[in-house]
């Protein structure tokens, strides 16, 4: 039954469940492009507040060693953040080669043929009895640990999630850059939060605040935003480190609940090595 027919059927719960909400996912691509602009704007505002408005003048006028160290660390982390960010954006996460077909079931060590696949494998699911899977949307087989992304419109190797911040899926070949991006951004936002803390606390004292109104407001907002990002990224970073240690992904985290033993876990050291070099 197609989605249009299901939507018109009576307004019951079944019709709503059958309605394909993911047909609007392509709009997320446009949103993702906007998010890249937002990211660059946040970086630009933060750079202005830290370097141009506060610590740059402090270094030039007073020769402060603290200002020099903060500016040095800030620029180093900023360079790493931008490098890892655009590496995630422009690196293909990994896709299924055209006309790829499985040669055998690696779990069973026996040959399997497409005409023997049960219906549960054809709808994109994976059962304990069938390891070879087929994607109805892409109309081709998909290897283990591969999932279809409704936003990208294709199957992604070792898909973790689709990230609108980078207009890309996070998969086998760009997960390393994504993890580095989260790590560097956490350290960068933490540095900005700590360095702007004195300028934030002065709002709650009787001291006169120097500088233009625009600079004062931007310093306050930048501190709050970087503090919020640092706190949220800390939890996000811990989550993904746990996933790497177990050699799993966000998507597979739900599948593991029904799997007694996760056979992709090679030990934490080899799991980290696999993130760095996903090719066998």
Give the residue numbers marked as catalytic: 163
Report helix angle 175-201 to 65-90, nearest 10: 150
Distance CA 72, CA 139 (A): 52
The structure tokens 């207009």 sit at 167
The structure tokens 């501190």 sit at 223
- Coil, strand, or helix at residue 209? coil
Distance CA 249, CA 262 (A): 12
CB 28 within 8 A of CB 162: yes
Contacts of 92 (CB under 8 A, 6+ apart): 173, 174
């Amino acid at each position: 039954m197609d989605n249009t027919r299901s939507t018109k059927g009576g307004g019951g719960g079944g019709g709503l469940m059958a309605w394909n909400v993911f047909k609007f996912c392509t709009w997320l691509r446009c949103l993702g492009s906007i998010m890249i602009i937002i990211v660059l704007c946040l970086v630009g505002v933060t750079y202005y507040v830290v370097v141009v408005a506060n610590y740059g003048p402090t270094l030039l006028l007073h020769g402060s060693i603290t200002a020099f160290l903060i500016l040095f660390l800030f620029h180093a982390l900023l360079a790493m953040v931008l490098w890892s960010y655009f590496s995630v954006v422009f690196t293909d996460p990994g896709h299924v080669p055209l006309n790829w077909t499985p040669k055998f079931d690696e779990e069973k060590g026996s040959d399997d043929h497409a005409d023997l696949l049960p219906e549960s494998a054809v709808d994109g699911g994976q059962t304990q009895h069938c390891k070879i899977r087929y994607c109805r949307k892409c109309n081709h087989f998909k290897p283990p640990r591969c999932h279809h992304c409704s936003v990208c419109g294709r199957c992604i190797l070792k898909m973790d999630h689709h990230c609108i911040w980078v207009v890309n899926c996070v998969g086998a070949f760009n997960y390393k850059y994504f993890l580095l991006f989260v790590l560097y951004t956490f350290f960068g936002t933490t540095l900005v939060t700590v360095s702007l803390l004195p300028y934030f606390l002065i709002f709650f004292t009787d001291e006169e605040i120097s500088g233009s109104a625009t600079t004062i407001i931007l310093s306050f907002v930048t501190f709050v935003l970087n503090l919020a990002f640092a706190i949220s990224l800390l939890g996000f970073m811990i989550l993904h480190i746990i996933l790497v240690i177990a050699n799993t992904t966000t998507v597979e985290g739900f599948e593991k609940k029904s799997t007694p033993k996760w056979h992709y876990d090679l030990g934490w050291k080899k799991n980290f090595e696999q993130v760095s070099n996903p090719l066998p």
